[in-house]
């Protein structure tokens, strides 16, 4: 992409400079300093390489688990895996502070699978903020548990609850779900948490952001007092600290969080005047060769669906993902984007956390995020695995 000077920064060519005016359906825009959306990518010439203390073959886990790890192609543990797995194997409660996409799932699945191998009576409850993240955890579980005879039940909204009730009643060792559906199953007296002596809260800060704090407290309150608890979060708010004090026992904090925003993501803003201008600018951008795999974020379910259809009408291969879609349709859209069958995925913030989508070239904030933290997690979908990414934010 070619850039022209833009207020001391740089912006894509083909987009004119405009004064900041609010003509977009009369709504109030989030008050975030737009200069925070501008940042050049930094390619470190001598990146500090993390040298792990362990290798997967060194961990004191069942040989079959090690074989499944090898089949999955894992050789060297990530920092969170390297530092957390030995302590989890020793029964310590853990607070893991780490960015998304750092390998947290394997950090808790491997030691807990090993625990179940040793004692088939043990049970594990895993809570995730979104259906997509719960599905991703379940898929990783299936890879790691291959040929072990250990099973899970996936309990998420948007799917047939009767099938989930049947799976829970089969008494699996792992239950993976979102707080709302887990609470629903508890109220139906299908899921009895008194039998679960292990719990994982993944993306704890996101669950609090989504308003699940009351549900989480109710769920954790029904678990046995003597249990093994793991909390993973990208940030450490006062509410999370209170949860830790209440529900964890002498936890060990492991922090491997790196830069607030990805260093290899080029960030810039695009100034527009109204909705029609935004759509035409977006269409022009998506016609450029470098916009190969683009994740576009909108604020509302209705807006995301409308934008997706508008792009389709203009000949762009686009799909949408938001809370009003059934889970099967959300998965179909996500899979078509992951496998490059479509160029554009238009999404609400439900897609911002935890999802590992390979080779996203651009993230475009069609609507401003509600908070800067949401912005950080949105743009974290590009520039993954040390590749360069571009994040562009529309500003009126």
Distance CA 137, CA 273 (A): 41
Q: Is the pLDDT of residue 22 over 80?
A: no
Can 3-43+263-395 and 56-255 be said to share one CATH topology? yes
pLDDT at position 18 is 33
Superfamily (CATH) of domain 3-43+263-395: P-loop containing nucleotide triphosphate hydrolases (3.40.50.300)
**Assigned CATH class of 56-255:** alpha beta
pLDDT at 238: 86
Say which residues have a Cβ less than 8 Å from residue 131's Cβ, sequence separation at least 6. Answer: 156, 157, 158, 178, 327, 330, 350
- Residue pair 267/240 in contact (Cβ under 8 Å)? The answer is no
pLDDT of residue 21: 32
Closest CA to 297 of 217, 380, 221: 380
CA dihedral 349→355→360→364, nearest 10 degrees, is 10
- What is the band of 358 on the pLDDT scale with cuts at 50, 70, 90? confident
Of the pLDDT bands very low, low, confident and very high (cuts 50, 70, 90), residue 396 is confident
What size, in residues, is the chain?
Answer: 396
pLDDT at 376: 83
Query: Whole-model pTM?
Result: 0.73
| pLDDT at position 2 over 50 | no
Give the three-class secondary structure for 165.
helix
Angle, CA of 171, 152 and 156, to the nearest 5°: 105
Per domain, the residue ranges of the chain are 3-43+263-395, 56-255
d(CA 213, CA 217): 6
The beta strand positions in 192-282, using DSSP E, are: 198-201, 228-233, 252-255, 265-271
Task: Output the pLDDT for position 9.
Answer: 38
pLDDT band at 1 (very low <50, low <70, confident <90, very high): very low
Quick one: pLDDT at residue 326? 83
Which class for 338: exposed (0-12), middle (13-18), buried (19 or more C-beta within 10 A)?
middle
- Reduce the DSSP state of residue 393 to 3 states and report it: strand
What pLDDT is stored for residue 156 in this prediction?
95
Higher pLDDT, 24 or 269: 269
Query: How would residue 385 be classed by pLDDT, with cut points 50, 70 and 90?
Result: low
Q: What is the pLDDT of residues 299-346, one digit of tens each?
A: 999 999 999 999 999 999 999 998 888 888 888 999 999 999 999 999
pLDDT-derived band of residue 82, with 50, 70 and 90 as boundaries? very high
Strands 9-12 and 3-6: antiparallel
Q: 342-354 b/e with 16+ CB inside 10 Å = b?
A: bbbbbbbbbbbbb
pLDDT digits (tens, 9 = 90+) for 88-132: 999 999 999 987 778 899 999 999 999 999 999 999 999 999 998
Average pLDDT over residues 144-166: 95
How high does pLDDT run on average in the chain?
86
pLDDT tens digits for 35-60? 778 876 554 444 467 888 999 999 99
Percent of the chain with pLDDT over 70: 86
Q: What is the pLDDT of residue 354?
A: 60
Q: Three-class SS of residue 198?
A: strand
Mean pLDDT is lowest, of 142-151, 275-284, 310-319, 361-370, for 275-284
Task: Tell me how far the alpha carbon of residue 28 is from its chain's centroid.
Answer: 27
User: Does the pLDDT value for residue 150 go beyond 60?
Assistant: yes
- What are the pLDDT digits (tens) for 270-305? 998 876 789 999 999 999 999 999 999 999 999 999
Q: Grade residue 13 by pLDDT with cuts at 50, 70 and 90.
A: very low
Residue 72: pLDDT above 50? Answer: yes
Residue 14 predicted with pLDDT over 90: no
Three-state SS at 181: helix
Q: Which residues of 228-238 are buried (b: 16+ CB within 10 A; e: fewer)?
A: bbbbbbbbbee
Provide the b/e sequence for 130-154 (b: ≥16 CB within 10 Å). bbbbbbbbbebbeebbeebebebbb
| pLDDT at residue 31, as a whole number | 65
- Identify the bridge partners of residue 255 per DSSP, sorted by sequence position: 97
């Amino acid at each position: 992409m070619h850039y022209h000077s833009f207020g001391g920064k740089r912006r894509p060519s083909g987009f004119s400079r405009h004064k900041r005016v609010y003509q977009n359906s009369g709504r109030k825009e989030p008050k975030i300093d737009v200069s925070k959306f501008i940042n050049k990518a930094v390619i470190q010439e001598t990146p500090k390489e993390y040298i792990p203390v362990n290798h997967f073959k060194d961990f004191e886990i069942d040989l079959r688990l090690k074989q499944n790890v090898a089949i999955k192609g894992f050789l060297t543990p990530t920092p969170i895996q390297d530092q957390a797995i030995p302590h989890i194997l020793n029964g310590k409660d853990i607070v893991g502070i780490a960015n998304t996409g750092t390998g947290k799932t394997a950090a808790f699945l491997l030691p807990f699978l090993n625990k179940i191998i040793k004692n088939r009576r043990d049970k594990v409850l895993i809570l995730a903020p979104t259906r997509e993240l719960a599905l991703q955890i379940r898929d990783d579980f299936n890879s790691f548990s291959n040929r072990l005879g250990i099973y899970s039940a996936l309990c998420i909204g948007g799917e047939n609850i009767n099938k989930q009730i049947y799976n829970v009643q089969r008494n699996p060792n792992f239950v993976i779900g979102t707080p709302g559906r887990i609470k629903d199953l508890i109220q139906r007296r299908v899921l009895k948490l008194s039998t679960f002596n292990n719990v994982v809260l993944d993306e704890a800060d996101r669950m609090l952001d989504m308003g699940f704090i009351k549900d989480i407290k109710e769920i954790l309150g029904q678990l046995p007092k003597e249990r093994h608890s793991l909390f993973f979060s990208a940030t450490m708010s006062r509410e999370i600290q209170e949860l830790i004090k209440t529900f964890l026992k002498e936890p060990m904090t492991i922090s491997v969080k790196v830069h607030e925003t990805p260093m290899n993501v080029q960030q810039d803003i695009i100034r527009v005047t109204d909705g029609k201008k935004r759509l035409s600018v977006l269409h022009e951008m998506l016609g450029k060769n470098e916009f190969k795999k683009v994740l576009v974020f909108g604020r509302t379910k209705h807006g995301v669906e409308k934008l997706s259809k508008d792009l389709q009408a203009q000949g762009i291969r686009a799909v949408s993902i938001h809370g009003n879609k059934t889970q099967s349709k959300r998965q179909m859209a996500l899979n078509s984007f992951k496998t490059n069958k479509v160029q554009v995925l238009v999404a609400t913030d439900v897609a911002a956390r935890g999802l590992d989508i390979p080779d996203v070239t651009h993230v475009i904030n069609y609507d401003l995020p509600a908070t800067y933290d949401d912005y950080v997690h949105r743009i974290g979908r590009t520039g993954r695995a040390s590749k360069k990414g571009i994040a562009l934010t529309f500003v009126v």
